[in-house]
Structure 1
């Protein structure tokens, strides 16, 4: 089973988003299984998550995010998240992620990202939040790209 099929990871993504922002990540009328599929396959926004490693690696990227960054699931989930930004953008990205860690989440983030082929593209109105499980343990950070 891939992580994007996991009930526990779905609960971590959607539960932490709701607790921190007060908003639903998935339409509330969907069942859990429908929500898992919708979030990965059909969501009209990109969704990325990375772990808490010293050099965090993406652990999740929905189809929308995979298309934008031009990576397959296997490629994306082996990629250190810092490599989603060009070197000049990485310091600003790191400072921003520290703010997210301190505040829990930040709305309206914007920056420039880079795809697998080297194409630079802007992101704006991005929400980034701490992935905090029901026990209060930080599991990583996630980003919702409209």
Structure 2
């Protein structure tokens, strides 16, 4: 989507410049579609079980889903690029904070190697379901994620955009 930004030169006419509009990923139907389509292709079931238009599903997943969803990019030290409200509440971060957080920091240092092995398995296999592991909140509280499903964010052309996880259950430790 593009918008026009007008600039006035001090001595010249007004000019128009096409600039990309920055839509936060939590509101971006195209990003929702990447999450939902890659999940459905790899796991054979829908990410959002209610039938609804894409725009409505985008909002529902971010605002109202009863499970946490996180996604990170493909950087060498991946950063979270998405965390729905359920994930933000559980990990104790705002949208602005969670989307600047290296995903490795969601686990304590002693648990990072086990987490990295899990991520590598997903990279080889496309997804893994039933994962259980210890994670940490912004305030340092430890909790267990249970029955998590992690999958590769692959577009229709097979290009990798990162990995995403659904965390249906957690419990405090």
Q: Which bin holds the TM-score, normalised by the shorter protein?
A: over 0.9
Matched, 1:41 2:59: no
Q: Which residue of 2 aligns with 1:74?
A: 96
The TM-score with structure 2 as length reference comes to: 0.83
Which has the larger Rg? Answer: 2
What is the CA–CA distance in structure 1 between the aligned matches of 2:84 and 2:74, rounded to whole Å? Answer: 19
User: Which of 102, 105, 108 is residue 83 of structure 1 equivalent to?
Assistant: 105
Displaced runs of 4 or more, over 2 A = none
Consecutive unaligned residues in structure 2, runs of 5 or more: 1-22, 169-173
Partner-residue secondary structure (3-state), 1:93: helix
Q: Deviations over 1:111-134 (max 9, x none)?
A: 000000000000010000000011
Aligned counterpart for 1:110 among listed residues 132, 137, 145: 132
Q: Among residues 163, 170, 173, which one is paired with 1:141 in the alignment?
A: 163
Deviation at 1:28, TM superposition (A): 4.4
1:63 matched to which residue of 2? 85
Measure, in 1, the Cα distance between the counterparts of 2:26 and 2:41. 20
Distance 2:164 2:61 in 1: 13
Aligned partners of 2:49 and 2:133: how far apart in 1?
A: 27
Q: Which structure shows the bigger proportion of residues in helix conformation?
A: 1
Structure 1: runs of 5+ lacking an equivalent: none
TM-score (norm 1): 0.98
Q: Is the 8 A contact 1:27 1:35 kept in 2?
A: no
Higher relative contact order (CA 8 A, sep 6+): 1
Q: What is the DSSP-based 3-state SS (H/G/I as helix, E as strand, rest coil) of the residue aligned with 2:164?
A: strand
Number of residue pairs aligned between Structure 1 and Structure 2: 146
Aligned 1:14-53 pairs, distance under 5 A: 14-53=36-75
CA-atom RMSD, angstroms?
A: 0.6
Query: Bigger shift: 75-84 or 26-35?
Result: 26-35
Listed one character per residue, the Cα deviations across residues 64-101 of structure 1 (whole Å, up to 9, x for unaligned) are: 00000000000000000000000000000001100000
